[in-house]
Amino acid sequence: MELPERETCYRALQSRDPRFDGLLYVGVTSTGIYCRPVCPARTPKLENCRFFGSAAAGQEAGFRPCLRCRPETALDLASWRGTSNTVSRALALITDGALDGYDASVEALAERLGIGERHLRRLFVQHLGASPIAVAQTRRVLFAKQLIHETKLPMTEVALAAGFGSIRRFNEIFLKLFRRPPSGLRRKASANSASSAAGVTLRLRYRPPYSWDSMLGFLRARAIPGVEIVDNRGYLRTIGIDGFTGSIQVTHLPERQSLCVTVRFPRLQYLPAIISRVRRLFDLGADIETIDAHLSLDPRLAPFVAQRPGLRAPGGWDAFELGVRAILGQQVTVSAARRLAGQLVASHGETVSHDFVSDPRLTYVFPEAECLAVVEPIDIGMPAARRSALKELAAAAVADPNLFRSFGTIEEAIARLRKIRGVGEWTAQYIALRALRETDAFPAADIGLLRGAEVVDGAKSTVKNLLLRSESWRPWRAYAAQHLWAAGATATSGSRSTYV
């Protein structure tokens, strides 16, 4: 990622400009500390500043994280999107633990990406200013630091949850970086329970504005009985990873520009991957000011953007689950798709461990691809062609672990999905939008989008016209789609909408 000019970076630091938070870090040579641009400490002299595009670059240059502005709480903006698909894929794998553990290596990571180790290192230095190992270690350190500050987990569990191979290595790194043991960073006011069954609670920041009511309304309309609950407590759902089951609860802290996430799960080593999924589900990485400003260049769309500042593009908890939802929603209403999903879960879902849920209404975990690929028959009331499409999707997901990974161009992603029998253009675009997090995905044939376009433009729209119309919204067509769906909500009320 290319940084602005040095003087521009310094002005952002002087003004504590929040627009640069998560995109810019400053290393202060006189103290050996790196900070966020919003740090409340006295602004250092320009000659003592070094600027970095990532926390990992600052840490690799020999600076240690600031204890006042806490870089681990910085906005986790997807600033690398659009710069390198390989880097984005590698970061997703690193977040899932690809460089954690004794047997992990950059060579193995590069092999999974289909490139050479040296080329991967070059790409990381070019786009992030740091090596893959440095990025992984910085993520571990900052996540561990957040757990130390915000929870009462024992240090051994903090080390495990953050992906450290041993408590000895964990202690060594913290002594080197902070000149004190990890326990020396814990404040007495840390108030979260140390029990994984009771839950680990963390705050995840976002860049405002954030339309929480719109996000919650979207999730409420599609909540699968037994799997999801949306009420005045926020969003609750069951989760399953590698045979273990638990739950998450997400609430809004508008005064702190954050979401509060409580994770109840029997294995803390999955915590980074769970938090990463929550970020994707609630679209916390969006630079929403930039997106809204771009869409507002369209004079007809601008008033609708102004009506709903901070409207996000909801993701999905699990890519396979999202693909199943898309097939269930083909040519039926949102409520009908929800009902079918409930039937599928009741027939084929795994029972959740009640030690790790906070509400007895949470009873099932959504079935895995391995389950649906072999079960006969899929016991839900829908046409045989769509039941067959579910089987095809499950088989494809089992055969190709990278089926739902975002790599290559969006056109390549759509073509890959469309090879699955029963997955057409609308379904592929929908999966790309919510599961692959493609910001330019656009299911133009959706009835709700066409109706929304009629409301925005005041004239009847066709798929061809809408596609032409959407060219000016690139590369944020997925967000334009949210505004079209919202604009057409009144028109689609009581009518069939295929947006599931």
Burial string for 377-390 (b: 16+ CB within 10 Å, else e) reads ebebebeeebbebb
Copy the structure tokens of residue 66: 């600031």
What CA–CA distance (Å, rounded) separates 141 from 174?
8
| Whole-number Å distance between alpha carbons of 144 and 158 | 6
What size, in residues, is the chain?
A: 500
What residue has token string 């609860």?
249
Q: DSSP class of residue 118?
A: H
Strand order in the sheet with 64-65: 49-52, 25-28, 33-35, 64-65
The whole-angstrom separation of Cα 11 and Cα 15 is 6
Please calculate the CA angle 153-72-229 and round it to the nearest 5 degrees: 65
Distance CA 91, CA 365 (A): 27
| Residue the block writes with tokens 């638990």 | 246
> Catalytic site residues?
35, 446
Question: What tokens were used for 123?
Answer: 């790409």
Residue 364: C-alpha distances to residues 282, 421, 498 (Å): 22, 28, 25
Q: Which amino acid is at 260?
A: C
User: How many distinct helices (H) and strands (E) make up the chain?
Assistant: 22, 11
Which residue type, as a one-letter code, is found at position 104? A
Residue 398 structure tokens: 């089992």
Q: Are 312 and 282 in contact (CB under 8 A)?
A: yes
